[in-house]
Amino acid sequence: MNDPVDTGSPRPTIYDVAKRAGVSHMTVSRVLNGHPNIRDSTRERVDSAIRDLGYQRSASARALAMRSAMRLGALVDSPVEYGPNSMLRSFERAARDAGYSVGSFTTTDEKKRGADAAIESLLSQDVDGLCVIAPRRSSLRVLAKRRIGVPTILVVPEVLQGSTTASVDQYEGARLAVGHLIGLGHRRIAHLAGPGDWHDARERVRGWRDTLTAAGLAADTLGEGDWTADSGYRWARSLEPDGCTAVFAGNDQMALGVMHGLSERGIRVPHDVSVVGFDDIPDSRHYLPPLTTVRQDFAALGALAVGLLLDALRGDPHGGLTKISPELIARESTAKVGG
């Protein structure tokens, strides 16, 4: 279980800062406005209280209190991959349809307070609510250490204590992929997973393993890539001969690399080895052969995230995980064993 992320606490006010520092709210205001007639010791106490509480000065605090800023924030960790980037675009479209503007901040730096800096930037824009697209466990560890103070939705495929989360059902997507291969007669199904720090990758591994186990089959060929076609290519080049009759790749890019690596070894797809991907990126239908894959409905997920945030702003927050169902898209990269 991950550490809970505090997303429901009220946003600290100037009065909270004054109470923590042991001064009047007018003194806090003077400190914030750079008034010269403030003792250094008093200024230090106020600055310390601001840091401790995570107070963000807002020029439109009244509008925020009335939920009339009409602006949402989106924090995206590692946006270069298809899934997080697609989710951001879908969230922005759904927010605009609801009459909200969106301020976004992206980060791939987990060593230099990337997520902390992103949150500070977004909160300074007077956002009413925040959508955190956090595919990596490391980004959630950063969030768990600080108060956010506005309604927040986390896009992760897991239940996190005290948080509202939403996701495409990654576990079910893996079960659809592996079930499809089992239905074609495959009994030795390998999996090339994404990075172990990614929530989606772990859920897909779990779905692959559970589906094979439930069918009485061994889940003994598991590799780890980095979401790139190059990693799929390298893995396929090192795959044991006759080690499997089918491969479930953790995303479509790795599936492309797998097909390339197998082809260079004279292994035909799907005649010798079937391949399934995940995501249904626009190019996957043009692979040779066109790729069987699992489609994620990012438009529905973006609308869901916005809807959950708006419910929270209306005082009706939802706890737990809400999931969007994925869809298997069968194409020519899979076939019956010996077909």
pLDDT tens-digit series, residues 103-155:
888 776 555 456 667 777 787 777 888 898 878 877 676 666 667 778 889 99
The topology (CATH level 3) of 14-53 is 434 Repressor (Amino-terminal Domain) (1.10.260)
Q: What is the pLDDT of residue 67?
A: 43
Q: What is the pLDDT of residue 98?
A: 84
Over residues 304-331, mean pLDDT: 90
The CATH classification number of 66-168+298-324 equals: 3.40.50.2300
Q: What is the pLDDT of residue 123?
A: 76
pLDDT band at 159 (very low <50, low <70, confident <90, very high): confident
SS3 235: helix
pLDDT band at 326 (very low <50, low <70, confident <90, very high): very high
Ranking 3-7, 53-57, 61-65, 284-288 by mean pLDDT, the lowest is 61-65
User: Cα(329)–Cα(326) distance, rounded to whole angstroms?
Assistant: 10
Over residues 25-29, mean pLDDT: 77
The contacts of residue 117 (CB under 8 Å, 6+ apart) are 107
Q: Which amino acid is at 200?
A: D
Residue 27 has pLDDT above 90, yes or no: no
**How does the average pLDDT of the chain come out, rounded?**
86
Residue 210 has pLDDT above 50, yes or no: yes
Helices and strands (H and E) in the chain: how many: 12, 12
Residue 69 has pLDDT above 50, yes or no: yes
Q: What is the pLDDT of residue 56?
A: 72
* Cross-strand bridge partners of residue 78: none
Topology alike, domains 66-168+298-324 and 170-296: yes
Q: What is the pLDDT of residue 105?
A: 80
Q: Which of 128, 124, 125, 119 is nearest to 100 (CA)?
A: 128
Over residues 83-93, mean pLDDT: 89
| The total number of residues written for the chain in this structure | 339
User: Cα(114)–Cα(112) distance, rounded to whole angstroms?
Assistant: 5
pLDDT band at 335 (very low <50, low <70, confident <90, very high): very high
- Map out the domains of the chain as residue ranges: 14-53, 66-168+298-324, 170-296
Q: What is the pLDDT of residue 313?
A: 85
Q: What is the pLDDT of residue 211?
A: 98
Residue 62 has pLDDT above 90, yes or no: no
| Report for 84-98, 149-163, 260-274: range of highest mean pLDDT | 260-274
204 contacts 250 by C-beta, under 8 angstroms: yes
Over residues 15-24, mean pLDDT: 89
Ranking 68-72, 282-286, 302-306 by mean pLDDT, the lowest is 68-72
Say which CATH superfamily domain 170-296 falls into: Response regulator (3.40.50.2300)
Strand order in the sheet with 246-249: 222-224, 189-193, 246-249, 274-276
Q: What is the pLDDT of residue 227?
A: 95
Q: What is the pLDDT of residue 38?
A: 82
Q: What is the pLDDT of residue 68?
A: 46
Q: What is the pLDDT of residue 61?
A: 47
